[in-house]
Amino acid sequence: MQNQSENQYKIIGVDDEPGVLDSLSVFLKRAGYHFSGFTDPLEAIEKVKTEHFDLMILDYIMTPVHGDQVVEEVRKFNKDIYILLLTGHKDLAPPLETIRKLDIQGYCEKSDKLDQLLLLVESGIKSISQMNLIRKINIELKDTYEKLEQSYMETIETLRLAVDAKDVYTRGHSDRVSEYSVLIGKRLGLSEDDIKTLRIGGLFHDIGKIGVPDSILLKDAKLTDDEYSQIKNHPSIGAHILSTATIFSNIIPIVKHHHEKYNGTGYPSKLAGESIPYHARIAAIADAFDAMTSKRPYRDEIPLEKVKEEFRNLLGIQFDPEIGKVFLDILDHDYNEIMRIQSKYYSQL
């Protein structure tokens, strides 16, 4: 039986191999989606101009134009459509810079088995659903600033609780990251506006995990490379979800870049040093600290002295060295504040 909530979503497929489109059509329609396929990429571009589609699946190597050229044309008039790129082989995928520039949400290799693609489609649909919800709220509540502020907070609370509720082991994580971030921000002497950004950004930093399949998010065993790649998509998914509402613009850098590393080896953008947004550098420290000091299915919480040792070793590698030193000073001299936060949220589990 088709899922009624999925029937509203329309997918367009673009591939110059009719057999691929036939397979996609059967597979996606069976999964409950509306699907239209095109072998001519230029015709597909014109179709997107005149008809609404939520998600596009397209091949990279095509004639007369490649997939990245299709995306470049589509992005000139449509910034919202969610795009998944198919490649015959991962070595033939476009450069990472191109994927970022054109706002391509994901790509995968072609395969006779379409299960991996369906997972990406399902993640995309979840993201689109949240974008539509936020857009609707933003339009409906434009009339008054007070209503917008109230809705802003209620939306944050609803969506981030949906993420926290997925896993008992991470419940309360976003609350604690928010409060740790505020604690660091105050110690740094930041403005009230900055503190508010850190508070809301911390609450919302993992919202992109709503687009990650539960089978991956809740897996006890070690993740495969493909599964870890999907986990690593959550900052970009979160930023994409929030991009439709201007009221979220201040916190998007936190959501998108809280897994960047100071030496440039993080994700999703491999930013380094001061190229990483300042608020994201603060949230990254708060996020890592909570991960280290929280119990997981596969390990107990790490002792405080070991945590401090890890932080000292990672200054200038994973963490901003100046912000990291401020946080270490908090751990050394004001750990009662950390304990207050932990006591507040762990007691609610």
Check whether residue 335 and residue 289 sit in a common domain.
yes
CA angle, residues 127, 131, 182, in degrees to nearest 5: 90
Does 188 map to a domain? yes
Check whether residue 92 and residue 223 sit in a common domain.
no
- Nearest Cα neighbor of 86 from 21, 31, 33 is 21
Q: Contact 251/200 with Cβ under 8 angstroms?
A: yes
What per-residue confidence (pLDDT) applies to 138?
74
CA distances for 344 relative to 170, 175, 224, 301, angstroms: 15, 10, 35, 17
Does 57 map to a domain? yes
Strand-pair partners of 14: 38, 58
Domain ends where: 68, 92, 112? 112
Does 304 map to a domain? yes
Does 1 map to a domain? no
Does 296 map to a domain? yes
Q: What is the tally of structural domains in the chain? A: 2
Does 2 map to a domain? no
Q: Contact 178/203 with Cβ under 8 angstroms?
A: yes
Check whether residue 156 and residue 107 sit in a common domain.
no
What global pTM score does this model have?
Answer: 0.61
Residue-number span of the structural domain to which 310 is assigned: 144-346
Check whether residue 104 and residue 213 sit in a common domain.
no
Domain ends where: 67, 96, 112? 112
For residue 51, give the H/E element and its range: none
Q: Is the dihedral of CA 258, 261, 266, 272 positive or negative?
A: positive
Check whether residue 245 and residue 321 sit in a common domain.
yes
Instruction: Please identify every residue annotated as catalytic.
Output: 209
Q: 339: buried, middle or exposed (CB in 10 Å: 19+, 13-18, 0-12)?
A: exposed
Check whether residue 193 and residue 98 sit in a common domain.
no
Q: Contact 244/131 with Cβ under 8 angstroms?
A: yes
For residue 10, give the H/E element and its range: strand 10-14
CA distances for 300 relative to 169, 294, 295, 296, 340, angstroms: 11, 7, 5, 6, 20
Check whether residue 187 and residue 75 sit in a common domain.
no
| CATH number of 26's domain | 3.40.50.2300
Does 337 map to a domain? yes
Check whether residue 107 and residue 154 sit in a common domain.
no
Cβ count near 331 (within 10 Å): 16
Check whether residue 102 and residue 161 sit in a common domain.
no
What per-residue confidence (pLDDT) applies to 297?
63
CA distances for 275 relative to 15, 31, 176, 269, angstroms: 37, 42, 26, 10
Q: Contact 12/38 with Cβ under 8 angstroms?
A: yes
Provide the residue-wise pLDDT of the chain in tens; the chain has 349 residues.
344 344 578 999 999 889 889 989 998 888 889 999 999 999 999 999 999 999 999 888 888 888 888 888 998 998 889 988 888 766 666 667 767 777 788 777 777 777 888 888 888 888 888 888 888 777 776 666 666 666 766 776 777 777 666 655 566 888 899 999 999 999 999 999 999 999 999 988 998 888 887 777 777 777 788 888 888 999 999 898 888 777 788 999 999 999 999 999 999 999 999 999 999 999 999 999 999 998 766 567 889 999 999 999 999 999 999 999 999 999 999 999 999 988 887 655 4
Check whether residue 86 and residue 171 sit in a common domain.
no
Check whether residue 246 and residue 342 sit in a common domain.
yes
CA distances for 276 relative to 279, 281, 308, angstroms: 9, 7, 23
Domain ends where: 68, 94, 112? 112
Cα–Cα dist 105/135, whole Å: 19
Check whether residue 63 and residue 148 sit in a common domain.
no
Strand-pair partners of 13: 37, 57
| CATH number of 168's domain | 1.10.3210.10
What per-residue confidence (pLDDT) applies to 6?
45
Strand-pair partners of 10: 34
Give Cβ neighbours of residue 289 (< 8 Å, ≥ 6 apart): 180, 307, 311, 327
Does 238 map to a domain? yes
- Nearest Cα neighbor of 130 from 277, 31, 9 is 9
What per-residue confidence (pLDDT) applies to 225?
82
